[in-house]
Amino acid sequence: MTRFRRIGLTVKSGFDHKDEAVARILKILRTLKCTVAVDPSRIHDLPCARKCEPMDPRKKIDLMLVIGGDGTVLRAVREMRDFSVPILSINRGTLGFLAEIELDEADRILPALMNGDGMIDERGLLKIEAVRKRKTFFSGHALNEAVIAQGTIARLIDLETAVNGEALTTYRSDGLIVATPTGSTAYSLAAGGPIVHPAFDSAIILTPINPYSFSQKPVVISGRSKVDVGVRMKIRKFADVDVNLTIDGQMYVPLQDGDHVHCSMAKETVKFLRRKQDTFLSTLRSKLRWGE
């Protein structure tokens, strides 16, 4: 693996001792003689980073370093313009399923990874389109999931769901989660969905949220599938029913009766720099506290 030389650095917007954490990582990178460009909106005002140049999308980087939790990684993915750039996450969040190393082990592990002692782990992305009267009014990507859900207590909606043009079912529920294997340990898991190993990058998980029917269970389908979800709000006497499309828990798109959401696996993938060993099962044990 080619040694990484030009590094982009972003960080969680707010956490304790942020300047100390960034300073520690910058010291390691400078020792490795790397050029560092920092996120101007979240790092450039820190005393330790004032001599660093700001990131510029016109200038290519070899690696994106992310200090934070899973939410910070998801935000970094959403803001990326070049999916060929791998991401290395240093955990300063809570669960940190997407994080590869902890801050207190960065002095030991980061130099090895920067010098080629690692592997690239590719994760699938969902391509999401929202269509109204045959016109696409939103298009984006999700690393974890797309959620079509109502935001009002005790107001069920009908979600007519088809796979590859064939009717699957109409979910009468609070909503539907369309997740990747990476997202199987996020909201889908909390809603009763299965854990799917990220090695199954060609898979899509459909998890209903509080379905009215006991027969409507989560289902895993081929990643080559195309999912269409039609929004139907038949009970119009409740004017306060709001339905939104939520991307990775961070972007919200209001939906209307009759809108359709199209989901399929994107051609692009997100690339993570990892240690050579598979850390997913150990992450499950440590983060979900299996066996305790």
Which residues are designated catalytic? 70
Closest Cα partner for 217 from 165, 173, 166?
Answer: 173
| Strands in the chain per DSSP E | 6-11, 35-38, 53-54, 63-68, 87-91, 101-102, 119-132, 135-142, 145-150, 157-163, 166-173, 175-179, 203-209, 219-222, 226-232, 243-247, 251-255, 260-274
What would the 3-class secondary structure string for 14-41 be?
CCCCHHHHHHHHHHHHHHCCCEEEECCC
The DSSP call for residue 2 is: P
Measured CA to CA, the distance from residue 274 to residue 199 in angstroms comes to 14
